[in-house]
Structure 1
Amino acid sequence: MKPFGYVRAATVEEATDAYAHHPGAQYLGGGTNLVDLMKLGVAAPDTLVDIAALPLDTVEERPDGAVWIGATVRGSDLAAHPLVRGRWPVVSQAVLAGASGQLRNAATTGGNLLQRTRCPYFQDTSKPCNKRTPGSGCAALAASHRDHAVLGHSSHCIATHPSDLAVALAAVDATVELTGTAGSRSVPAAEFHRLPGDRPERDTVIEPGELVTGVLLPPHTAGLLSVYRKVRDRASYAFALASVAAVADVRDGTLRHVSLAFGGLAHRPWRARRAEAALRGTAPTASAVDQALDAELARARPLGDNAYKVPLAHAVAADALARLTAAPARED
C-alpha cells in the first residue's frame, strides 16, 4: 500500500472542498470495500477524505411521506429502521441479504451504492481489466465468467454490480442525492449506475468530486407489497448469481403498479421496464408473468459459462411476483 494523505471532514462543504484541493483524492466512509482494494493495489488514492463524521447518519420522514436516508447510515441501522421495514420492506430485505452482520455494522448506505465489482480479474492486478486500467482488455471474456453479466455488457467489460441495496432502490423509484462544489442534484436510483459501453471504468454518473449525501424513498411506493429474492452459491455472505426486487399493488385482481429490478445480471441494477409494461393493468396470472419475463430476458446475451442465469432470473422473478400477488390485496 502506497503512502497517502488523510483529511477528516466535519461538513459536506469541507469534504467536497478537500476533494477539490487534493488531486487523486477519494472519499472514505465505512471503508469495507475501498480499504480492501487499497490492500490489493487496485485503488491507490493520494488522499483519503474521511466522511464518517458528516451529519448524514439519520433517517428522516418528510411531510409528504417520503423518507430520507443519510449517506452514512450504517447497513444494520437501515435494515432495522421501522419506517423502512414497515413501508419499503424490500429495502430492508436487500440490506440483510448482503454481506455479514459485522460488515453491515460498518458499511454505509452511500458506500454500498459505490462499491466496485467483485470480478476476480478486476481485483487481480496481474490480469488485464478495462475497468481497472482502461484499454488493457477484459480477461474475463476468454476465461471463467460464470458469475458475469448476461444483460447490457459490452466487449469492453462483462462485470456485474454487487450491491443488493441498489437493486431494491431501483425497484422502489428511489433517488440518490449528490453534492459537489458546483451544487446539489438528484438522480433516479435506476439511472445512477452505468452500463459499461466503452467506458467501463465509470461505474456511476457521479462527476469527479461529487459526494453521495443521501437517498430518498418516495411516497408513491410506500406501503406497497414488496420482496427481495436472491439466489447465491451459499446461504450467506455471497453475492447474487441472480436476484430480483419486486414491488406490486394488486387491486380487484389487477396489477395497478408493478416494478422489477434484477441484480447479478448486469453492470448495474437492471430495471425490467418491458416486463413492467406488459404486466401493468393486467391480471397477474402465471402465463402473463412468464410472457412478460420472456420479453424482458429476450435481450440477454449469455456467454459460454453463464447461460444458466437467464432461466434462473426468470424463475426467481416469477416466484417473487407469485408471492406478492398471492398476498391480500390492498383496499381503496
Structure 2
Amino acid sequence: MSTIAITGASGLIGGALSSALRARGDRVRVLVRRDPQGPEQFRWDPAIGTFDPGALDGVDAVVNLAGAGVGDRRWTTAYKTEILRSRLGATKTICAAITASGAPIRLVNGSAVGYYGDRGEEVLAEDSPPGTGFLAQVVKAWEGATADLADAGGSVVLARTGLVMASSGGAMAPMLRLARLGLGGPLGSGQQFWPVISLRDEVAALIHLIDDRELAGPVNLVGTVPARQREVAAALGRLLKRPAVLPAPRLGLRLVLGQFAQEVLASERVLPDRLLGSGFVHQDNTLEAVLASALRYT
C-alpha cells in the first residue's frame, strides 16, 4: 500500500486516477484550494506558494495535474497568461514542498505532447527537440520548473500526455456532441496526426510512472498507433452509426475557437517509445479500441 498525493483530482484524469489508486488499495491525499472537507484533503495555494504543514508526511509519490484547462475557454491574452502561470505556480510549489520534506518522494508531473508543436509527418519521440508555438513554449517552461528538483537528485518523471479520449470530458467531449448529430467530420484537412490515448490507458500509464522509479524525464503517454484526425472522425462515426464526412473549414474553426484552432489543427505524430520500452502494455492498442473504450468508460 502506497500513499499518493494528487493535485487536479477534480479533473477528468485526476478523478479517474484517484479511483484507480483507491481500488488497488493505495491511500490517496487530495490537495485542494479550499477548506479541506475530510481527513484525506489538504489545502494548498499554488498562486502564492503555500502548503499545509504535514501534507506530504508519509507520502510516497505526488501526481501533479494542476493547471488551467487548455480548451476550456477562448484564448485571450489574459487566459493564455493563466494557462502558463497556473502550471508554473503549481509545479514550483510542489517541487519546493518535496524539497523541504527531505523525503524521497516520487514526482509524476503533468506535461503534454504540445511540447512538439506542429510537425507534420515527422515521427516524434521523447528525444525529439521542442517545437514552436504557444503550447510548445508553455510545456517547455512547465517541464523546466522541475529542473531544480531533478538536478538535486529528486525522482521526477514528466507525463507528456496526448489527447485523452473519454465521453465525459477532455478532447473527445465536444467532438462526440457533433458526431452524434452527424457533424463529426474532419477538422481542417483532417490529415493532421492526433496522438490519442484512452482514459483507462492514461490512468494505467500514470500508475506505471508512479511505480517504476527507474523512469525519469519525459515519457510520452499516447496510444500505440498514431492516427490522422480524419481517421479518428471516421472511426467515431462508425461506432455511433453516424455520417462523418462534412469537414469543418479552417476559417470556421478559427472563428469559433480563436487562436486555439491552430493547436487543434496541429499535427503531432508522437510515439510512446519510453513507455513501451519500460514494459507498459496498452489495453486499447488500436484506434477503434481507444474510441470504443471511451464510449464505455467515463
Q: Scaled by the length of structure 1, what TM-score is found?
A: 0.28
Structure with more contact order per residue of length (Cα contacts < 8 Å, sep ≥ 6): 2
Q: Scaled by the length of structure 2, what TM-score is found?
A: 0.30
Larger radius of gyration: 1
Bigger helix share? 2
